[in-house]
Structure 1
Amino acid sequence: MNNTGGWNMELVHEVFNDRDAKEILQIPLLSHDAKDEIIWRYDKKGMYSGKSVYRVCVDIMIDRNEWKTDGKWNKLWALAILPNVKRFM
């Protein structure tokens, strides 16, 4: 980006081949007025942590449908029995 808020076209054409330069120059640039903010949408507080990244991987990236089996498992887990008995069942 140059001082006018646009691409430095000469530099882009100098560094990249014509095809790539054409694609790069089509990318819109934000104005300087936009305020940067650090956010992490996968945490309730917006904080980034190893735990929150792990949760993203488990919740979003891994297809857990293959782990599912038919049955009313929530009823089993809600029973007032020893945890070892629940896991055995």
Structure 2
Amino acid sequence: MVKIPLNLLHNEDVPIWRFSMNGAYSVRSAYYQLMEVVIDNSHLKEEGNWKKLWLMRVPKK
């Protein structure tokens, strides 16, 4: 640890949004990132018509 150089410039930390070209957050870049996650996980979605199942009127257990 002694050989790690110190930052002598004392620059202020700034947040960087890694999902955009310029590092700035935008709703558009967040939307595209979210869509990538949704598309990448689409193979995990179970097949079946769950909406119809939940809307069925059946007696309670």
* TM-score range for the pair, normalised by the shorter chain length: 0.3 to 0.5
Question: Which of the pair has more CA radius of gyration?
Answer: 1
Structure-2-length-normalised TM-score: 0.41
